[in-house]
Amino acid sequence: MNTYERRAGADPRLPVPKMDDSDVDEEDLETGLVAAVRRGQFDVVKKIGIDPARDDVTALINEYCLWPNPELLEFLIKLGADLRSAAGEDNAMRWAFSSFEWSLDSLFRDYSRTEAALRCIEILAANGARWHPNDPYRISCFRRAIAKASAYDAIRHLERIIKGGAIEQPFFQDLMRTPRMKEILKQTYPGVIKLREYAGYSGSRSRKNRMPNR
């Protein structure tokens, strides 16, 4: 909860400033419940409690689940959150992919967050959500993030993502069409054959190049 609620025991659904600042615009207000969801604080969310009569669980999951927490996602889904009704690209799957990308950045690298983000992607995909951004910038961000991982890790992560069904095949084929992504498909690590098949990759390499280094 934020400072205002801790001090005054306020209603966790009462919009208050995000920061200790009395001069704020309406868009800078948020409830304690929203703040807890946004920060992935599942224990706080459970303490506040979700009231279906007052709380829009679909909005909570699609607009505010910014920090990856698999338990929180499953909790909101069980309460009836609709993963397919989000307008545009602001949805839970986008936030899960964004968290995954950030976790691979050298400045913010956090392998525990990588695993949490991948689990969120798998949970969302299992419940019908898909990642298909319309903005080419989002696709470029994902490609750059994957390129920052080692080839071994990139293949492991991509294999989990496609196995869960988070990216449909035509979109994945487009995602992997660039030279940098094709370099990943040329590797010999376990799982790469599945990636090649899903990407429709038909590149060939000599037998010498296909053999792993000893």
Choose between 18 and 59: higher pLDDT.
Answer: 59
Give the residue from 90, 114, 131 where a domain finishes.
Answer: 131
Complete DSSP assignment for 28-50: GEE-HHHHHHHTT-HHHHHHH--
Nearest-angstrom CA–CA distance, 33 and 57: 11
Say yes or no: 159 and 198 in one domain.
Answer: yes
CATH code for the domain in which residue 126 is found: 1.25.40
For residues 56 and 126, membership in a common domain is answered with yes
Do 122 and 180 share a domain, yes or no? Answer: no
The answer on 89 and 53 residing in a single domain is yes
Q: Please give the average per-residue pLDDT across 134-155, as a whole number.
A: 93
90-117 per-position pLDDT tens digit: 899 999 999 999 999 877 667 789 999 9
What proportion of the chain, given as a percentage, has pLDDT over 90? 67
Residue range of the domain that includes 205: 135-214
pLDDT at residue 212, as a whole number: 47
What is the C-alpha separation between 124 and 99, in angstroms, rounded?
A: 14
Ramachandran angles phi, psi of 17, nearest 5°: -60, 145
Rounded Cα distance, 133 and 90, in Å? 10
Provide the whole-model pTM.
Answer: 0.82
Looking at the structure, tell me whether residues 7 and 67 fall in a common domain.
yes
Query: Of 131, 148, 163, which one is at a domain's C-terminal end?
Result: 131
Percent of the chain with pLDDT over 70: 79
pLDDT of 162-202, one tens digit each? Answer: 999 999 999 999 999 999 999 999 999 999 999 999 999 98
Please give the helix or strand (H or E) that residue 5 lies within, else none: helix 3-8
What token pair was written down for 59? 């909005």
Place of tokens 């966790």: 12
Dist CA 63 CA 59 (whole Å): 5
Number of domains in the chain: 2
The single-letter DSSP state of residue 213 is P
